[in-house]
Structure 1
Amino acid sequence: MASSVSAPGHPGEQAAPDPVKLIAVRDTPLSLDEVFQALGDAAAGGTALFVGTVRNHDGGADVDALGYSCHPTAEAEMRRIAEKVVAEYPVRALAAVHRVGDLGVGDLAVIVGVSCPHRGEAFAACRKLIDDLKHEVPIWKHQRFSDGTEEWVGAC
């Protein structure tokens, strides 16, 4: 009877040849199903997703709505970050989408996901992807508060 455990040298334990499946900045609602579908890979034993939503508060103030805008290079920067993650982890599939335009409380602002041979790698790669995206991609948030004030927040 053949063992169901992959040998360390098995191709499924390595990064896929072209794992970046979906990178996009969109002005339309994001789809969790679309991102999850992009992450499918028969060699992946772990898939990690992060979904960022618009919350109703920030810094002690009530948020009514917000808008995201981006530099024209935002999508290229997302791809650059994705390639860095792929170089560091055995990624089988990776996807990242970010919304721009006006959003309301509860709307999906960003979805990123990674599939890897094992769950630990998937969690770590997904965390690196969202953290680097948040700090490096030129996407800006304009928050509007219930008291009539507003605030611009740097990259993402």
Structure 2
Amino acid sequence: MDPNAHRRALLALTDELGARLRTSHEVCQDLTLTVRYADRTSTTRSRALPEPSAHSPALTTLAYSLYTSLGLERARAHHLALRADRLRPDETAHHQLLLDDGDDKARRIEAVTDAARSRFGPHVITAATLARATRGGHPREPS
């Protein structure tokens, strides 16, 4: 029921989805979010990205927008699923250049993160929001 837990789940999904797309050299044009509730009903929303992408922050922004559009206040969501639609090879996608270098910096960081993950494993670098709580620099054991 916690919206923050839902946002963390969406962040984890978009991070993994973006990494998979980049590894397979694909981009997606649409995202589809499916929310399954405690009463076994579900809601699905789809929306197109402004430009085809495998860039995790772009995927995250759209996933958050899809989630917000559902208007869930006290819903008992049990399952969130995110699907990339209308896939195509990444060499066919074009990226609009911006005057702000923030996006370029994020893309360079993403490339370094992908390289580290391919060498050391998928969980070597993760968003702080997704990191497990630590005590004394070591991951806590699950309770």
Q: Which has the higher contact order (CA 8 A, sep 6+)?
A: 1
Rg larger for: 1
Which has more helix, going by share of residues?
Answer: 2
Q: If the length of structure 1 is used for normalisation, what is the TM-score? A: 0.27
